[in-house]
């Protein structure tokens, strides 16, 4: 029995490379619903929705926030071209909260042009998504037998 090959996963945004490494499995928020990718997956190209991307390495999931973009699978190489992406552990919750509140305030005040409103709504969605993933990450951490992370409840 030959060893199962690994996936090579790269997550890039227009600004930076967020993740680059090998993995046993990838769970991604596809445009048409969640999808899981294992090694030897057929070539696939799909759009991404906003949500949580999970990359399993040595049985442990690395959680990454992604918003929009594409996922390509081709001969065990998974490339994710995201519009926005951030590792859950690197999400700055204070900043995300600030962004969320700012976007909410702008939308509540009204009087925005359609373009700005769409932009602000997207921003709000991203901030909320970021916070949710950071929250999920914290909960998972809590259940695992690991030294407790200093938690900040705001």
- Position among 7, 23, 26, 30 found at the interface with another protein (CB under 8 A): 30
107 CB neighbour count, 10 Å cutoff = 15
Residues numbered 57 to 116 that lie near another protein (CB under 8 A) are 69-70, 72, 74-75, 79, 81, 83
Characterize the bridge pairing of strands 77-87 and 7-12: parallel
Write down the least CB distance from residue 153 to another protein, Å. 33
10/136 with CB nearer another protein: 10
- DSSP 3-state assignment of 68? strand
Helices (H), 17-148: 93-109, 114-143
Characterize the bridge pairing of strands 25-30 and 51-57: antiparallel
Write down the least CB distance from residue 46 to another protein, Å. 4
Nearest Cα to Cα of residue 24 among 53, 59, 71: 59
13/22 with CB nearer another protein: 13
49/128 with CB nearer another protein: 49
Backbone angles phi, psi at 107, to 5 degrees: -70, -35
- Position among 5, 36, 47, 60 found at the interface with another protein (CB under 8 A): 47
Our finding on whether 17 is near another protein (CB under 8 A) is yes
| Beta-bridge partner residues of 78 | 9, 73
Q: Which positions touch another protein (CB under 8 A)?
A: 10, 12-17, 30-32, 35, 42-47, 69-70, 72, 74-75, 79, 81, 83, 119
């Amino acid at each position: 029995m030959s060893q199962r090959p690994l996936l090579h996963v790269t997550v890039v945004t227009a600004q930076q490379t967020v993740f680059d490494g090998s993995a046993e499995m990838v769970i991604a928020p596809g445009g048409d619903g969640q999808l899981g990718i294992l090694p030897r997956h057929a070539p696939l190209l799909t759009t991404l929705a906003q949500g949580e991307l999970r990359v399993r390495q040595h049985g442990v999931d690395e959680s990454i926030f992604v918003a929009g973009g594409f996922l390509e699978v081709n001969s065990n190489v998974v490339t994710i071209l995201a519009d926005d992406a951030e590792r859950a552990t690197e999400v700055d919750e204070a900043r995300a909260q600030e962004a969320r509140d700012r976007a909410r305030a702008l939308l509540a005040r009204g009087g925005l042009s359609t373009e700005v409103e769409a932009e602000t709504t997207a921003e709000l969605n991203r901030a909320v998504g970021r916070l949710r993933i950071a929250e999920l990450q914290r909960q998972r951490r809590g259940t695992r037998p690991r030294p407790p992370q200093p938690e900040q409840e705001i």
